[in-house]
Chains A and B, each alone.
Chain A
Amino acid sequence: MKDGKKSKVYALMEDTPQVTLERAKVKGSVNVIFWGLRIYIVAMVVLVIIGFTRGTI
Chain B
Amino acid sequence: MKPKVAFFDFAGCEGDQLQVANLEEELLALLGQVEVVSFREVMKEQSDDYDIAFVEGSCTRLQDEERLKQIRSNAKIVVAIGSCATIGGINSLRNYKDLDQVRKTVYGEQAKLFDTYAARPIDAVVKVDAYVHGCPINQKEFLQVVKSLLMGKRPDIPTYPVCVECKKNENVCAFERGEFCVGPVTRAGCDSCCVNEGTVCWGCRGLVDNPNENSQKEILIKYGLTVDDAIGKFKMYFGWQEAKR
A and B are partners in one complex rather than unrelated chains: no
**Chain A: residues with CB nearer than 8 A to chain B?**
none
